[in-house]
Amino acid sequence: MARILITGASDGLGRELAYALAGQGHRLLVHGRDAGRLAEVAERTGAEAHRADLASLAEVRRLAASVEGPLDVLVNNAAVGFGPPGEARQFSADGHELRFAVNYLAPYLLTRLLLPRLTAAAREGAPAREGGAARIVNVASAGQRTVDLDDLMARGYDGTEAYRRAKLALIAHSFDLAEELAGTGVTVNCLHPATLMPTTMVRQARSGQMDTMEQGLRATLRLVVDPTLAGVTGRYFDGQREARAREQAYDRAFRTRLRELTDSLVGLPS
């Protein structure tokens, strides 16, 4: 059975994913910001609980440092949604636009810091582990907008647009990292799990529901454990169907510049 870290596991899709994976016998590390809800999930699943506010890069680093031993799967699920209509621009503890910080900078930094644990798992356990290679699964969105590298902090702010730009950046990072990790035994994929599931962020945005939680759960669970996807990397999925992301995500020059800017923002060497 795999050892899996799920961010944003105290609510919504992350919580349902934790319940499903625990039911399959996997060993879980669950992250959340709300200590009470996180404790409930950890108790029900027998998981290790890791509380952190991903709006702080220092707490992202603390979260990464608290993970010990090889890690088979990292699911970057935590996110801040659109917010209610007309909400003013918000900032992270580090002064970055909040949705860009939580939905992109945090998973970028967490993934970078945990790569040694993922590559160790790929080296040590892949032949015996169901599903083969170690995996990184980034929960993105079909709602994507072009990223302006000269305006990463969204001066002309709209919550929906800020969310969508952050998700496009996460998809571009997924493709970039998949190429970087080719041959290491670590795969990187991203997905739009479902549209407007009944989650807290959707209710806050007052968007109304379209798809069920079960639809999103099935799509995400597939990328985490399906053995037929063991060698699949650098792909974007819309639900359970491989799809095409916004074209900017495939632009290597854009991805290189985005990576350089991101490393500077999170304090990593280029």
Task: Flag whether pLDDT at 205 surpasses 70.
Answer: no
Distance CA 254, CA 77 (A): 24
The yes-or-no verdict on residue 178 having pLDDT over 70 is yes
The answer to whether residue 254 scores a pLDDT higher than 70 is yes
Angstrom CA distances, 209 to 12, 186, 197, 200, 204, stand at: 13, 34, 6, 11, 12
Quick check: 129 pLDDT over 70? no
Domain positions in the chain? 3-266
CATH superfamily of 3-266: NAD(P)-binding Rossmann-like Domain (3.40.50.720)
Number of helices followed by number of strands (H, E) in the chain: 9, 8
Indicate the range of 85-89, 211-215, 234-238 predicted with least confidence. Answer: 211-215
Looking at the predicted structure, is the pLDDT value of residue 82 above 90?
no
Q: Which residues pair with 3 in a beta bridge?
A: 27
Q: How far apart are CA 266 and CA 92, in angstroms?
A: 12
Measure the CA–CA gap between 232 and 55, rounded to whole angstroms: 31
**pLDDT (0 to 100) of residue 124:** 81
Nearest of 65, 40, 69 to residue 52 by alpha carbon: 65
Average pLDDT over residues 78-106: 93
Q: Which two tokens stand for residue 98?
A: 């909040």
One-letter amino acid for residue 106 of the chain: A
Side-chain half-sphere of 12: how many Cα atoms within 13 Å? 27
Taking the model in full, what pTM does it have? 0.93
**What value does the mean pLDDT take over residues 229-256?**
97
Question: Residue 87: what pLDDT?
Answer: 86
Give every CB contact of residue 268 below 8 A, 6+ residues apart in sequence: 109, 112, 262
Average pLDDT, the chain: 92
Q: Which residues contact 249 (CB under 8 A, 6 or more apart)?
A: 144, 168, 171, 172, 175, 236, 255
